[in-house]
Amino acid sequence: MKVFGHPMSTCTRKVLTALAEKGEKPDFVVVDIMKGEGKTPEHLGRQPFGRVPAIDDDGFQLFESRAILRYIDETRGGGTKLHGEGAKGRAVVEQWVSVETSEFTPQAMKIIYEKFFHPMMGKPTDEAVVAAARTALEKVCATMETQLGKTEYIAGNTFTIADIGFMPYIEYLFAAGQGDLFEKFPKTLAWWKRISERSSWKTATGKG
């Protein structure tokens, strides 16, 4: 499978984690989004919004990281099954993928932009944006904490695409000096420590 992505990109890292869980080494093609390579006609042909990642699996092209995760899980038989069992198990995974997509990530990205990317680009940090996003994120973490008091992983007792979805954003929150957010949520913190020790994550983030 060809993966068109960037090693620092959150969404690319999800795809690389899923492939590593399946024991598959991708043919990785760097699209340097920092240098505008996402907006070339060639890449726009693969990803019409000019973003990464996109894949090409023997001629089958797909973009949107969460769709790619499902595709990898269904088409790669080896390694970890990254879904829940039965209608209920799968629905719970989808529920947490939605929580990640619509509740967690938008708030996390506000903080990451203000505290990680803006300082890197020499732009000022808007502390009011950070404070509001932290308050919103704490509410999401409280819900995750309740869940992680009942199950080992976010959508049950096995590692799934729902766990993978949260990982790159939590990594960047720590890199942005915001890891203290999780101090009030010991089960969530323990879950993060557990999943970030997986060799698939280390492979995806270049630490493996």
Ligand X SMILES: N[C@@H](CCC(=O)N[C@@H](CS)C(=O)NCC(=O)O)C(=O)O
For the chain, the residue count is 208
How many chain residues are in contact with ligand X, going by CB under 6 A?
Answer: 12
- Secondary structure (DSSP) of 45-105: TT-TTS-S-EEEETTEEEE-HHHHHHHHHHH--SS---S-SHHHHHHHHHHHHHIIIIIIH
CB burial class (10 A; 0-12, 13-18, 19+) of residue 151? middle
User: How many other β-carbons are positioned within 10 Å of the β-carbon of residue 76?
Assistant: 19
By beta carbon distance, the residue nearest ligand X is 51
CB of 8 to ligand X, least distance (A): 8
97 versus 133: smaller Cβ distance to ligand X:
97
142 versus 175: smaller Cβ distance to ligand X:
175
CB of 59 to ligand X, least distance (A): 20
Q: Does 165 bind ligand X (CB under 6 A)?
A: no
According to CB under 6 A, which one of 4, 19, 26, 38 is a site residue for ligand X? 38
User: How many other β-carbons are positioned within 10 Å of the β-carbon of residue 3?
Assistant: 22
CB of 172 to ligand X, least distance (A): 10
The edge-to-edge listing of strands for the beta sheet with 54-57 is: 27-30, 2-5, 54-57, 60-63
Q: Does 92 bind ligand X (CB under 6 A)?
A: no
Q: Does 51 bind ligand X (CB under 6 A)?
A: yes
According to CB under 6 A, which one of 52, 99, 137, 195 is a site residue for ligand X? 52
148 versus 168: smaller Cβ distance to ligand X:
168
* Per-residue binding letters, 4-33, with ligand X (x by CB under 6 A): -----xxx---------------------x
Question: Which residues, listed in sequence order, are joined to residue 57 by a DSSP beta bridge?
Answer: 60
Q: Count the alpha carbons within 13 Å of 161 in the hemisphere toward its beta carbon.
A: 30
* Per-residue binding letters, 56-85, with ligand X (x by CB under 6 A): --------xxx-------------------
Strand 54-57 to 2-5 pairing: antiparallel
According to CB under 6 A, which one of 24, 37, 50, 56 is a site residue for ligand X? 50
**Rounded Cα distance, 198 and 19, in Å:** 13
Q: Which residues bind ligand X (CB under 6 A)?
A: 9-11, 33, 38, 50-53, 64-66
